[in-house]
């Protein structure tokens, strides 16, 4: 079975994010100057260029903003997972991330569906994916 391609965690802006995933913490940043939520992780605020970013832990609860179902892939890993779901997830804290929706029937997928984070564990990090929320 082919293995999932994993992020390079030595990358300076995102290394802390990936390190936190190993303990199942989904983190995001907030700008101390303009107070906007910042995601993906980076060194400066994309809205006001401030370097004063603080890191916060997300509850991992959100909703599907939009999604697509991949039914064919020539990639050695993703090809064995079809059909699978790629979705923009809107987290309750106000940021969006691209991820997969797993363990949820394709006929249950809707825009706005409440979802909660799940983790695929690897040696040095975990990949955040989502499933239909228990409360949905
Ligand atoms: Zn800012």
Dist. CA 91 → ligand 1 center (Å): 19
DSSP state of 78: G
User: Are β-strands 114-121 and 61-70 bridged in parallel, bridged antiparallel, or unpaired?
Assistant: antiparallel
Reported pTM: 0.93
At 63, list the tokens.
Answer: 């909703």
**Percent of the chain whose predicted confidence (pLDDT) is above 90:** 91
β-partners of residue 115 are 62, 132
In the reported structure, the alpha carbon of residue 95 is separated from the centroid of ligand 1 by a whole-number distance in angstroms of 14
Quote the ligand 1 centre to 9 CA distance (angstroms): 25
Q: Could you tell me the distance, in angstroms and rounded to a whole number, from the CA of residue 71 to the centre of ligand 1?
A: 40
Q: Tell how far the Cα of 49 is from the centroid of ligand 1, in angstroms.
A: 6
Distance 30 CA to ligand 1 centre (A): 8
Which tokens is 54 given? 């603080």
Distance, CA of 68 to CA of 49 (rounded, Å): 33
User: How many A from CA of 122 to the centre of ligand 1?
Assistant: 33
Helix or strand (DSSP H, E) at 20: helix 15-21
For 69-120, the pLDDT digits (tens) are: 999 999 999 999 999 999 999 999 999 999 999 999 999 999 999 999 999 9
């Amino acid at each position: 079975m082919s293995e999932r391609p994993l992020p390079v965690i030595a990358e300076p802006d995102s290394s802390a994010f990936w390190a936190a995933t190993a303990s199942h913490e989904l983190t995001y940043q907030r700008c101390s100057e303009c107070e906007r939520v910042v995601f993906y992780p980076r060194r400066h605020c994309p809205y006001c260029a401030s370097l004063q970013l603080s890191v916060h832990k997300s509850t991992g609860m959100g909703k599907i903003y939009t999604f697509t179902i991949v039914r064919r892939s020539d990639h050695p890993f993703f090809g064995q997972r079809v059909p699978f779901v790629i979705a923009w997830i809107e987290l309750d804290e106000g940021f969006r991330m691209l991820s997969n929706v797993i363990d949820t029937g394709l006929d249950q997928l809707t825009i706005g569906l409440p979802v909660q984070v799940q983790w695929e564990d690897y040696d040095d990090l975990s990949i955040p994916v989502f499933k239909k929320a228990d409360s949905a």
